[in-house]
Chains A and B, each alone.
Chain A
């Protein structure tokens, strides 16, 4: 090796996460280079000291606190396991894209009217996402906007142990149109009936009716416009003013 290895290469070498033959080349270089040997020694020292500096001891009494909370009926809804992430490598991404393209091509050929439906859908005319139900992955605070709701619409708020926010309408409100966006979901034209929002305890979201915020879920509590705060798991019926 004519040049000194880069610092990051020495970090990888010192951690033993370098494959042959690169590892061998670096080893050969280190055998004859005092400067790089000193660097490797320093890297190991920093790693060792970092482990010591970041070491934490378990807080005393935590298990007793856990058991006491359970005995008191305290419930915590944890985020569910996301499962293996399939978008981690370029090969997997490419395989996923090919799969989606294949399925889309097959659908175009097999389903009559799909092309027209898509043209209508992306031409700006709204359509329900899935028969009055929409799911929003919870990776940011979201907003649920109910637009053009009349005064008979009720909104029920339920806490579930999942990491997806579910918004669905029942009764006449099920005719409403759901539109998802990066920020959440718009429900348009909801009429008499009930709008049900199911969200995990850890969700952070705002429900607005006709542009007016009516409920905020944050840090496990539901806040109402009048300042009242309810524990999660509560059911709230709201009647928007016309």
Chain B
């Protein structure tokens, strides 16, 4: 993640105030700081790069207005994650997602390609609801309480989905 900018806009509270007041500089700083996380969450939930890009743009276009009503009651990044996940889930309700794991990107990297392709294919074959929880938990590092908040499910459901996802992966990758 890009480090916060120097100067007064490095202070999160000041940044939020400036964005809600309509400052494009502040919005740019906020984008630098959080766009990676926003894009990853959206992508893991909808499973489509194009949809995730739409969500990324929509979130940052809509943030200045939404931040006018923001109450500083907890971590801003947790609040933002909930906003992103709700936006993504509403998009999912409107259209069936398509999966586009970046296989070309995978092949371009230096680690063993076949192994990663196998894991990528196994991930792609996971049912969406299981893949969402798996990626938010195992890749993004959110705990089950946070995932439950983000996806509007119970904590127990998050646990169950994670372990079902592992069960699918284990079978697909033939882990003895």
Chain B residues near A67 (CB-CB < 8 A): 24, 27-28
Any B CB within 8 A of the CB of A115: no
Closest-CB distance, A95 to chain B (whole angstroms): 16
- B82-132 residues with Cβ-Cβ distance < 8 A to A are 82-83, 86-87, 90-91, 93-94, 101-102, 105-106, 109, 111, 115-117, 119-120, 123
**How far, in whole Å, are A39 and B62 apart by their CA atoms in the complex?**
46
Contact at B163–A11, with CB atoms within 8 Å?
Answer: yes
Closest-CB distance, B66 to chain A (whole angstroms): 5
Contact at B119–A50, with CB atoms within 8 Å?
Answer: yes
**How far, in whole Å, are A52 and B93 apart by their CA atoms in the complex?**
28
Contact at B148–A51, with CB atoms within 8 Å?
Answer: no
Report the number of A-B residue pairs with Cβ-Cβ less than 8 Å: 160
Chain B residues near A70 (CB-CB < 8 A): 24, 27, 61, 64
Any B CB within 8 A of the CB of A239: no
Q: Which of B79, B82, B145, B170 meets A88, CB within 8 Å?
A: B145
Any B CB within 8 A of the CB of A125: no
Chain B residues near A126 (CB-CB < 8 A): none
- A53-B116, A75-B65, A88-B155 given as contacts; is B138 within 8 A of A63 (CB)? no
**How far, in whole Å, are A84 and B40 apart by their CA atoms in the complex?**
22
Any B CB within 8 A of the CB of A232: no
Closest-CB distance, B157 to chain A (whole angstroms): 10
Chain A residues near B86 (CB-CB < 8 A): 78-79, 82, 163
Closest-CB distance, A52 to chain B (whole angstroms): 6
Any B CB within 8 A of the CB of A170: no
Name which residue of chain B comes closest to A74, CB basis. B61
- A64-87 residues with Cβ-Cβ distance < 8 A to B are 65-67, 69-70, 74-82, 84-85, 87
Contact at B116–A8, with CB atoms within 8 Å?
Answer: no
Any A CB within 8 A of the CB of B49: yes
Contact at B65–A54, with CB atoms within 8 Å?
Answer: no
Name which residue of chain B comes closest to A78, CB basis. B62
Q: Which of A54, A88, A89, A139 meets B123, CB within 8 Å?
A: A54
Q: Which of A39, A57, A59 meets B175, CB within 8 Å?
A: A39
4 shortest A-B CB distances, which residue pairs? A76-B62, A53-B120, A49-B119, A78-B62
Knowing that A42-B175, A53-B116, A62-B57 are A-B contacts, what are 16 other residue pairs whose CB atoms are under 8 Å apart, sorted by A's residue number? A42-B173, A43-B166, A49-B111, A54-B123, A56-B102, A62-B31, A65-B57, A70-B27, A74-B61, A76-B65, A77-B65, A80-B66, A163-B86, A202-B90, A204-B93, A204-B94
